[in-house]
A = this chain, B = another copy of it.
Amino acid sequence: SELTEGPAEVAARSAFLAEADRLKRIERATTLCDASRPENSAEHSWHLALYALVLGEHAPEGVSLSRVLRMLLLHDLVEIDAGDVPIYAQTTQGQAETEAAELAAAERLFGLLPEAEGAPLLALWQEFEAASTPDARFAKALDRFQPPLQNLASGGVSWLAHNATFEMVEARVGRAIARSMPAFWDHIAPRIRAFLG
């Protein structure tokens, strides 16, 4: 079916896409591989989608790569309102507050779209957050796998900033990686241990 929407729906989609542009200004704790500057959450989301594309055929049985791609493209949009919380700075006390802020952000942002479009995208974001399905767990594993690779390449900028130990990396990201991508955790774990000593 060719596009036959009225101008109001066209305008709503354009407004959402312009608002999404602000994700390019959200800085993360990790840097580019060459350590030249912090990575932003928009280019990080692109990189993760590329990870899914290149590693996706080896996802656990039954994972839908197309749904994983969509989750990864959307997963950080809430940071436009709620900011990025570095994984090594997360506390149990802060977590409930962050979750409330992110849910409000998701409702505002996906609410900019026509209802029939926004509601399924909000549900997809919630599925990712809850890690409640194999698709979401694989998407989470990729989200946990990319930062250690950036750290290994950059000289560990964000690990050093948060005094990370191998045990911290293993607890905060290693388990999520190993659950969906064991060969990739086996590949990087010895390198992380060697780096963090």
Contacts and interface: CB of A to CB of B under 8 A. Distances in A.
Dominant SS among interface residues on chain A: helix
Contacts of A21: 32-34, 47, 150, 153
Contacts of A90: none
The complex is assembled from copies of this chain, and their number is 2
Nearest to A2: B60
A46 interface: yes
A58 B1 contact: yes
A172 interface: no
A58 B149 contact: no
Given A14-B149, A17-B149, A3 B47 contact: no
A181 B3 contact: yes
A156 to B, nearest CB: 15
A167 interface: no
Q: Top 10 closest A-B pairs, CB basis?
A: A46-B46, A3-B58, A42-B43, A21-B33, A43-B43, A3-B183, A66-B66, A10-B187, A24-B43, A42-B46
Given A4-B183, A5-B183, A13-B54, 20 more contacts: A3-B58, A14-B149, A14-B184, A14-B187, A16-B54, A17-B54, A18-B149, A18-B153, A20-B50, A21-B34, A23-B43, A24-B43, A25-B36, A46-B46, A46-B49, A46-B73, A49-B49, A53-B121, A54-B113, A57-B117
